[in-house]
Amino acid sequence: MTSPCNNIRGDDGKGDFDGNKPHTFHIPVMGTGFTIDTPLKVARYGIDSVISIGDDILIERMRKYHCEKYNLDYVPIPAGEEDARARRITAYLDLVNSLVAEQFQTLRSAPFEPGSDLTRYFKMLPVSPLKRDYDDMLATTDTQIRFQKQEALRKRLRPGSIDVNIMTKVDHDRFRDGVRLPPEYSLAMSSLRGYARSSLRSSIVLSAGLNRRLFTYMASFDDFFPDDSGVIKKKIVLKVSDYRSAVIQGKLLAKLGLWVSEFRVESGLNCGGHAFATKGFLMGPILAELSREKKQLVEKLFTLYDNALKKSGRIRVSEPPQLCLTVQGGINTADEDSFLMSHYKLDGTGWGTPFLLVPEVTNIDEEHLRKLAAAQNEDVSLSENSPLGVPFWILRNSASEELRRLRIQQGKPGSLCPKGFLKSNTEFSENPTCPASHTYQVLKVQQIANNDEKPEIKAARIKKVVSKSCICNDLAGGVMLKNGISQEAHPAICCGPGIVNFTQITTLERMVDHIYGRLSLLSRAERQHIFIKELNLYIDYLRKEIEESSQGIIERTASYFQEFKKNLSDGIDYYRQLADRFTLTQKEKFLSDLEKLNQELENIFSGLIPDMTLRTTG
């Protein structure tokens, strides 16, 4: 199965343009360091992957590392130089783009023989016209015809896209010598500029919600608009949580003359890293609505888009550019992948957490690879570690977590804040501090200790404060240790809950075979269906919020919880009907699990809501 959605890197001999991606999956961004150089490991095989461009300090270190590895000249870009952050990002992305191009040309010139990179490329492909033509070539006995077919196959190869990610919420202004820099030097805007000025022809994945000034700034770069041939060199991918989010952000960008080439739905809770929970909107109903309304949405967006291009005097296109719909978060089996693709007419899926156990693809040191492979449910937690105040999935026995707990025991909570990317709090100072820093946590703990709340409430609030961890530094720990850049790192691991279903440290080929159903790497026979798992996570999340609200730790209204419950109940009703699409065995287990969770939901509200209502209304 192939998709018409394609992030073309240019008609320069680096790939064919028949509109078909070699693979139906992509590798999403993971942390700041886990996929920082993944394109150098998978792009030549036609696999798309995403680099985080949030940490320019790590990016500069990785540029130095790869220049030395490939015997290339390295000219440092010191942090104090003008526009250093953007320039570092551009330089690194140009390096990766150049290296991937060389890798791909070498692969395409390789012989069709066992063990070659060229053969590896074809063997990993899913069932597709390209794979069938490869098999036909292998079955051809006439030497001359076989050679002709081989040359034709070479021309049809294309590399995977080198995509990048920006978390739009991480966009605070920056300071130099105590003076606030102009807005375009903010974290997200300087990252955008670094990508926009790079040689890449790929996509930028915008996550974490709407950022008006960032969206407006995008419209100042030509590569986000159609060129003379109607091709958009740099495409926009929006990671969205529901249909409403897709509409609002899509319209805002269209009014600026910017086209969204892909809506990437991610589960609110069943994912790795930051979990942007919705008010109980579940993956199945979200995909159903987006799939159902996609055509109408494209028409609405194109009207706004065309008007904006006309007003700005830019090149217009005669019909809407391609708009793809993909999904990621918690996919663990080929059956789930296939069902999502076919039932919701998707253009692709994202596989993240399982690839953390593929050392040739992602960056994790050996100690944490072993910990991931041995992880049980109790080792993976939806934590409050993120300074952004967003739930964050962690491996609880990571070196970062062990160090955070040690600092608390020693009476020295918080980090020294070596990078400062998440400095956004001005509660105690005009100059922003990070909620994970020692400076902030000491002041905040003192403030809480001196208030008039009950001891148990104080303890709960203090626990929340000291739970914040230095993730902008520690998420780079794995790549630092693995590549020998630093031996002082304390890695944080932001795996999703699905990691417990995998125990094998494995290879790229075997993981790809797992995705396409050619073998299974699952270690647990009794695992929950992707939809059931997400529903379970939402019920746990709702239960925690109700408890904290009733204790006065957080502020929520009764109407908020009633809306949350209604959305979950509506999702359960939808899944009851969807179960008819499953085989009899799948259907029975799915419905059984569904009804158990529905009863849990009812029990939560019958037991806790009356007491909670008294505390949150009136």
Q: In the chain, which stretches have pLDDT less than 70? A: 1-19, 525, 607-618
Cα–Cα dist 544/332, whole Å: 26
Q: Are 561 and 568 in contact (CB under 8 A)?
A: no
Query: Nearest CA to 138 among 162, 122, 155, 116?
Result: 122
Query: Nearest CA to 537 among 356, 339, 272?
Result: 272
* Residue 378 burial (10 A CB sphere; 0-12, 13-18, 19+): exposed
What is the rounded end-to-end Cα distance, in angstroms, of the chain?
57
Long-range contacts of 508-512, Cβ-Cβ distance < 8 Å, separation of 24 or more: 508/41, 508/42, 508/45, 508/124, 508/358, 508/360, 508/361, 509/120, 509/123, 509/124, 511/351, 511/354, 511/355, 511/357, 511/358, 511/361, 512/23, 512/47, 512/124
Sign of CA dihedral 421, 425, 426, 429: negative
| Cα–chain center distance at 53 | 12
Q: Which amino acid is at 207?
A: S
Which ranges in 345-450 belong to alpha helices (H)? 366-373, 399-409, 438-449
For the chain, give every domain's residue range.
Answer: 357-526, 528-618
Unique residue bearing structure tokens 């929950």: 528
Measuring CA to CA, how many Å separate 399 from each of 380, 394, 477? 14, 11, 9
Q: Are 349 and 340 in contact (CB under 8 A)?
A: yes
| Cα–chain center distance at 537 | 19
* Res 177: pLDDT: 83
Q: Does residue 578 sit in helix, strand or coil?
A: helix
Angle at 248 between CA 245 and CA 252, to 5 degrees: 135
Q: Which amino acid is at 306?
A: D
* Res 10: pLDDT: 35
Unique residue bearing structure tokens 């003359």: 257
The answer to pTM > 0.75 is yes
* Res 89: pLDDT: 98
